Amino acid sequence: MAHPTDPRLTPLAQSLPATVPFVGPETQERTRGKPFAARLGANESGFGPSPRAIAALQSSAADIWQYPDPEAYDLRQALAAHHDIDAAHIMVGEGIDTLLGNLVRLIITSGDAVVTSAGAYPTFNYHVTGFGGVLHSVPYAGNHEDPDRLIAKAKEVGAKLIYIANPDNPMGSHHDAATLQRMISAVPDGCLLVLDEAYIDLAPDGTAPYVAPHDDRVIRMRTFSKAYGLAGARTGYAIGPAPLIAAFDRVRNHFGMNRSSQAAAIAALADQDWLAQVQGKVAACRDSLAAIARGNGLTPLPSATNFVTIDCGQDGTFARRVLVALGDAGIFVRMPFVAPHDRCIRVSCGPDAEIAAFAAALPQALASARSQE
């Protein structure tokens, strides 16, 4: 039975579905009544954060009674030094998700056009519809988002925002820097390109384009959730032109950035040796996951991220059966939402023991899925 709608909601809110873009593993564990043996679905870093970041979290605990610095001054200065830009071009927020929400709130009002790819990161879409924007999507070109189609659609509909992730989630693919620079040069007047670079620290050299921080055609989104291993700390940042960055102060939650999270991010950023170790572990794990997939007659897609998307060779119904069977075996993975990409499952990199558990469970999961055909 559907729940009644509270009549006090705005007409826009009443028109929206109650959406949870990602069902967390904790929710699934409560349903199944026991924990997963392998947590390989949320693209977290099972290799963990820098020991320096852990120490910073621990040492900041006694001061947690204090509100955080609403300007995140020390973290913004550290990021500015890391990127060799002025801190006026950097806004820190509670993960990229929150920054996307604030950006949409700043730019989009009822009826405004926004362009994205069908099957791309759904939380961005969630924010757009939540503020009354109108989504226009274009298909991927194979397993890659299609910059040319995104730009063409933006010109066609008069879009105010274009979203692209490079590297891409959920397919793990990437475009090189030159391709993104051509895309940026083609952004229509009055439009803003949202370049989500959540996985950029795990991508090959030559993936990140050079973008002058004052370039008003693009805003970049970065995070400490992936390679830096701080997903639970909810720390992300945007890089963009100073006037747009300053505008975030009009709508953001000024005390939203946890005090301990700021300290952990500063420490993590300072430990580039740990980042390099994680990058090496991720690269090796991608190779292991690809070998496991091929050993079971499946096709691993090339990945520039901390996960491998595996083509199960049939349709979304079959891949979903594989996903369910893996879950029943205690292996948490996810899959793309939109056809034809829902023929795949997506497996995060992680510690050797969890990858071994996935390898052991996959043959039976495939057999179970095939028995239901």
pLDDT, tens digit, 9 for 90 and up, residues 32-74: 999 999 999 999 999 999 999 999 999 999 999 999 999 999 9
What does the DSSP 8-state code read for residue 61? G
- Tally the C-alpha atoms within 13 A of residue 156's C-alpha that lie toward its C-beta: 11
What pLDDT score does 3 carry? 62
**Are the CB atoms for 175 and 204 separated by under 8 Å?**
no
In 143-258, alpha helices (H): 147-157, 177-185, 242-247
| Residue-wise pLDDT tens digits, 231-245 | 999 999 999 999 999
Q: Band of the pLDDT at 280, cuts 50, 70, 90?
A: very high
| Residue-wise pLDDT tens digits, 190-203 | 999 999 999 999 99
Alpha-carbon distance 204 to 112, whole Å? 35
Alpha-carbon distance 309 to 301, whole Å? 6
β pairing state of 307-311 and 299-300: antiparallel
**To the nearest whole percent, how much of the chain has pLDDT over 70?**
99
Q: What share of the chain is helix, strand, coil (3-state, %, to 5)?
A: 45, 15, 40
| Residue-wise pLDDT tens digits, 109-155 | 999 999 999 999 999 999 999 999 999 999 999 999 999 999 999 99
What pLDDT score does 195 carry? 98
Alpha-carbon distance 144 to 118, whole Å? 11
The average pLDDT across 235-262 equals 97
What pLDDT score does 5 carry? 78
Kindly report which listed range (25-29, 214-218, 232-236) carries the lowest average pLDDT score.
25-29
Q: Band of the pLDDT at 357, cuts 50, 70, 90?
A: very high
Q: Band of the pLDDT at 293, cuts 50, 70, 90?
A: very high
| Residue-wise pLDDT tens digits, 122-131 | 999 999 999 9
Q: Band of the pLDDT at 210, cuts 50, 70, 90?
A: very high
> Which neighbouring-strand residues pair with 309?
346
Asked if omega into 243 is within 30° of 0 (cis), the reply is: no
Ordered domains of the chain (ranges, CATH): 22-48+273-371 (3.90.1150.10), 51-270 (3.40.640.10)
What pLDDT score does 1 carry? 41
What pLDDT score does 22 carry? 82
Whether the predicted pLDDT of 260 surpasses 50: yes
